[in-house]
Amino acid sequence: MNAPDPRETFRGEAQDLLEKLEEALLDLGETPDEHDLIDTAFRALHTLKGSGSMFGFERLAAFTHHVETAFDKVRKGEIAPSRDLITVTLAAQDCMRRLIESPDQDAGDEGEILARLQTVVAVAPGAKPAAAALEEVPAEDGTATYRIRFRLGPQALLTGNDPVRLIEELRALGESTVVAIDDEVPSFETLDPTVCRVRWDVILTTSAPRSAIDDVFLFVLDDMELDVVRVEADEQPRRLGEILVERGDAAPETIAEALGRQHPLGRLLVESGKTSENQVLSALAEQNHVRKEAEIAKATAKGQDTIKVTAERLDGLMDRVGELVIAQARLKQLSGQIDDIALKAVAEEIERLVSELRDTTMSIRLVPIGSLFARFRRMVHDLARDLGKEVRLTTEGEETELDKTVIERLADPMVHLIRNAIDHGVEGPEKRAQAGKPAEGHLHLSARHSGAEVLISIRDDGKGLDSARIRARAEENGLIAPGARLSDADLFQYIFAPGFSTAAEVTSVSGRGVGMDVVKRTIESLRGAIDITSTPGRGAEVTLRLPLTLAIIDGLLVRVGRGRYVIPLSAVEECVELSADDDTRSRGRNFLNIRGELVPFLRLREMFNAIDPPDPYQKVVVVSTGERRVGLVVDQVIGDHQTVIKSLSKLHADVNSFSGATILGDGSVALILDVGHLVAAGQTFDQTRRAS
């Protein structure tokens, strides 16, 4: 196996840094006084510059150096993080991305961005000095003394952080005294050389500013304990007890008692008779245990126990699991035909293991949707600025997980929906003021689980959808008959028709009727659906209903005539029997009374042209599509089935009633019903039959 290209490794890490930089900049625009965000942005720039130079991206390093210098001024309080500075830094981030992707090509706007950056820095208002800046003031001779106590994280050595290098950098700043505290270092027999258990106390006298000390620990601040305190030099040296009390290493009463007896404190605790040696050791063991557990939890939270795997390997693993599921179904069918208890026991055990392997593999493919939401913050920021609007983006449910393939294919549809919400939905500041709304519009993205689906909502507080205009345009385009009775939910679906637009004029953002039809096709190709609700003057909400995964689903296997079909279990609500009397009474009206509720149903035998006589007692599978409940009449409900989805050939691309196929245990093929398209096709089929 060929070793990975170091430059490609850098590109992957650089993308993570650029995303972190963008997130920090956008957050800084909302909370400019958050010093942690400034530090995060500065560290990202500093790392990009240093790593870029190391891996041969010299133009990137030179360009980033100027941006880093500007943020160093922000970090030191010399200038304030203004909106203009954030805007030009976002533009610089785009330029950095291009320099990383194509280092040999001219990015085109490097000089222009740096000129803008220089102008912004030159006119930026000065920030008020922070309270911590008082510690920068040196003594009369230009020096100051600091007590520095630091402890690196347990995994510091594994991540390449060398404490000796940090100490050498501190020593380079001035006169220093270094003490290693090895109280927690275990015996040689149990020593793990990869775990850092030592902490250090450093007394440093330096003429350098306090920020120089912070710079030493710049790259390890996220996973370490650091305490820096300025020590005032007195004419009378402080006693040992005073220093211990000030540092918090001993209580005043303990020091007083020890001084009175003039014996070592450790011996006194045992000799006093108030506690035993074993009790002291037990307390220390508890302390060490709790600290160890906290360190493990902290390391896990920071992703120390994760590895990166290429998407191709995950796809290959899922393919193998799919084939294994099919083979297991074959084994289950064979064991049912053979009267062998041992074989059936093995088949059941394999079925359990395959089910667990399937769930584990599918969970590996799941990715938090927050990674998708984060992409839109920059887009909303830039689009609102271009349209002269003020829009605040909020998100909810970022931890909701979805199949990585779904997330990848979901990016473009959501871009179209968000652009339309900002352009058509959210009004400008003047119109919002006239409507009694705050000048700043609100766009909210949310995600949540609902059974085997994920619901993603895009909600704005704009003017809402104009039902009258949508109806007029739909009638004008011949999509609906004049005066046709439609609910708002059904009427709103026409905005996804090809070429449909209610915009009064074409802009650079929207108005040509291109894009929304692509949104609908993409969502339906993911076996999803779109729901729209709107309140005039209050805003609109678009909800995308998507399956958790595209690879393997739980299905309900049914028979219609001689054919077998799979209905996605997430769409199934219940199954009821259609007796001969009910069948006769329902002829001509296609409604079934289920516990006092009239539910329309479709006869799949008629839609699929089944020629065999129907079973005497047919079944009705009640499914939900959007807000509607529809019954599907089948001959037999066979049972649940782990369905490995196989795509249909190009010859069947126009058959919308089926979303794919699966292989059954006996090797035959069963088609997977697309419930949404099937219901729409059934309504058309029923209307055509009635008209004939």
For the segment 345-398, what is each residue's pLDDT rounded down to a tens digit?
998 999 899 888 988 888 888 888 988 888 888 889 888 888 889 899 999 998
Q: Whole-structure pTM over 0.75, yes or no?
A: no
Maximal C-alpha separation, the chain: 111
Instruction: Based on the residue annotation, tell me whether 161 is a catalytic residue of this protein.
Output: no
d(CA 276, CA 279): 5
Query: Average pLDDT in the 510-532 region?
Result: 75
Active-site residue flag, 597 = no
Residue of 645, 642, 643, 623 whose CA lies nearest to 634: 623
pLDDT (average), residues 404-423:
88
Band the pLDDT of 458: cuts 50, 70, 90: very high
Q: Pick the closest to residue 51 from 63, 60, 42, 41 (CA basis).
A: 60
Q: What is the pLDDT of residue 287?
A: 43
Mean per-residue pLDDT of the chain: 78
What are the phi and psi torsion angles at 205 (to 5°)?
A: -110, 120
pLDDT recorded at residue 456:
92
Percent of the chain with pLDDT over 70: 78
The domains of the chain, with CATH numbers, are: 6-128 (1.20.120.160), 132-234 (3.30.70.1150), 311-367 (1.10.287), 369-547 (3.30.565.10), 552-691 (2.30.30.40)
pLDDT range class, residue 570, cuts 50, 70, 90: confident
pLDDT-wise least confident of 229-238, 418-427, 626-635, 637-646: 229-238
How far lies 70's CA from each of 16, 19, 127, 665, in Å?
A: 21, 19, 14, 66
Cα–Cα distance between 257 and 589 in angstroms, integer? 96
Q: Which of 420, 427, 453, 641 is catalytic?
A: 420
Dist CA 594 CA 577 (whole Å): 10
Q: Give the pLDDT confidence score for residue 276 in this predicted structure.
A: 52
Tokens representing residue 211 in the block: 């920020």
Between 328 and 134, the higher pLDDT residue: 328
Angle between helix axes 311-337 and 341-365 (nearest 10 degrees) is 160
Least confident range from 28-32, 107-111, 414-418: namely: 107-111
Q: Is 349 annotated as catalytic? A: no
Q: What does the DSSP assignment read for 433-494? A: HHTT--SEEEEEEEEEEETTEEEEEEEE-SS---HHHHHHHHHHTTSS-TT----HHHHHGG
pLDDT for 589: 57
pLDDT recorded at residue 513: 43
Query: Distance between CA atoms of 102 and 7, rounded to whole angstroms?
Result: 12
Segment 493-515 shows an average pLDDT of: 63
pLDDT, tens only, 124-143 = 665 444 333 334 444 445 67
Is residue 10 classed as helix, strand or coil in its secondary structure? helix
The top-scoring range by mean pLDDT among 315-319, 358-362, 631-635 is 631-635
Across 179-183, 334-338, 545-549, the highest mean pLDDT is recorded for 334-338
Q: Is residue 510 pLDDT above 70, yes or no?
A: no
Instruction: Evaluate if residue 326 carries a pLDDT over 60.
Output: yes
Position 31 scores a pLDDT of 84
Catalytic-labelled residue, pool 22, 68, 110, 541: 68
> Identity (one letter) of the amino acid at 154?
P
Q: What is the percent of the chain where pLDDT is above 90?
A: 7
CB 81 within 8 A of CB 38: yes
Q: What is the pLDDT of residue 62?
A: 82
Which range has the top average pLDDT, 313-322, 573-582, 676-685?
313-322
The residue among 568, 572, 523, 567 whose CA lies nearest residue 543 is: 523
> Residue 320: is its pLDDT beyond 50?
yes
- Residue 127 has a pLDDT of 42
Q: Count CA atoms within 13 Å of residue 452 on its CB side.
A: 17
Dig out the tokens for 604 from the structure: 């799949």
Please tell me the predicted confidence (pLDDT) of residue 249: 62
